Amino acid sequence: MLNVKDLIVFYENAIAVNDLSMEVREGQIVGVIGSNSAGKTTLMNTLSGLIWDMLIKEQRKGGERITVMGSVHFFEEDISKLPAFRRAQQGIVLCRERHPVFPDSSVTENLKIAGYLRKRAEVKQGIELSFDLFPNLARHRSRKAGFLSGGEQQMLAIGMAMMVGPKLLLLDEPLLGLSPAMQTQVVEAIKDVRRHTGVTLVIAEQFARPLLPWLDFAYVIENGMLTLTGPGPELMDNPEIKSAYFGV
């Protein structure tokens, strides 16, 4: 479904993603595991096309020069040069890190904004689906999103990404800043999302422990380079993963 080949991203002279290739099959949950500054967010931005927007903005203000090389194919079609909104229309939707929501709008309004391009019936369905998946959101449906807790905002952000109707959902650090209990809840929610909608997921995350057992395939990256690959449960037993991500 998604094929990434020889992807290289430079921020000025610093390399963020180094010769990375990966493949995502339909219906899978794929993880990109890496510590801080490994290049996870850059990878997600490149897959979703946001990098082109950053590139243009930096260029205009004479800031850092961003260089992107390599190819991204989605359903056999080359989308390497497509801007973010085109990719979202084709079904690649990114849920950015630090749960970005519209703080001054209510939960329902947030979902409606995200579903602006869908039909009215689809929006209604989508909102119901979000409330089914995340019962916490249903309880706060008319509350301002800015007043929700971090975990609830994360669930809302995932719900908003779902509203766009993705074929491939990219989650950037969905567990960031959440308590272990909240993390398990979000992981459960992510599994529910897959079960209900059959959407394909790519999750970038550094908290590997709650996530790894459920990953169909995981890519471990360090300093922008692939170091390990394999099905999630297999990697659980890998001594390197244990020492680097579980602190054993």
Task: Report in angstroms how near the CB of residue 157 gets to another protein at its nearest.
Answer: 24
Largest CA distance in the chain: 51
> Nearest 5°: CA angle at 171, between 240 and 41?
65
Indicate whether 192 belongs to the interface with another protein (CB under 8 A).
no
Q: Which is nearer to another protein, 3 or 67 (CB)?
A: 67
Q: d(Cα 228, Cα 149) in Å, to the nearest integer?
A: 35
Query: Any contact of residue 18 with another protein (CB under 8 A)?
Result: yes
Q: What is the C-alpha to C-alpha distance for residues 90 and 49, in angstroms, rounded to an integer?
A: 12
Q: Is 36 exposed, middle or buried (0-12, 13-18, 19+ CB in 10 A)?
A: exposed
Q: Binding to another protein by residue 10, rule CB under 8 A? A: yes
CB of 173 to another protein, least distance (A): 22
Nearer to another protein, 68 or 160 (CB): 68
From 9, 26, 73, 35, select the one nearest 167 (Cα to Cα). 26
Please spell the DSSP secondary structure of 12-24, one letter per residue.
Answer: TTEEEEEEEEEEE
227 binds another protein (CB under 8 A): no
Min. distance of Cβ 61 from another protein in angstroms?
5
In the DSSP assignment, the letter for residue 245 is: I
Supply the minimum distance, in Å, between the C-beta of residue 80 and another protein: 14
The Cα–Cα gap between 35 and 30 comes to 17
For the bound state, the minimum distance from the C-beta of residue 64 to another protein, rounded and expressed in Å, comes to: 9
Q: Which of 8, 55, 123, 226 binds another protein (CB under 8 A)?
A: 8
Angstrom distance (rounded) from CA 230 to CA 212: 11
Binds another protein (CB under 8 A): choice among 5, 11, 19, 106: 19
Quick check: 52 binds another protein (CB under 8 A)?
no
Q: How many residues bind another protein (CB under 8 A)?
A: 13
Q: How far is the CB of 12 from another protein (least distance, A)?
A: 6
Nearer to another protein (CB atom), residue 13 or residue 36: 13
Q: Which of positions 54-93 make contact with another protein (CB under 8 A)?
A: 60-63, 65, 67, 69
Q: C-alpha angle with apex 19: 16 to 21, nearest 5 degrees?
A: 115
Q: In what order do the strands lie in the sheet with 217-222?
A: 92-95, 168-172, 200-205, 29-33, 217-222, 225-230
Of the two residues 66 and 114, which places its CB atom closer to another protein in the complex?
66
Contact residues toward another protein (CB under 8 A) are 8, 10, 12-13, 18-19, 60-63, 65, 67, 69
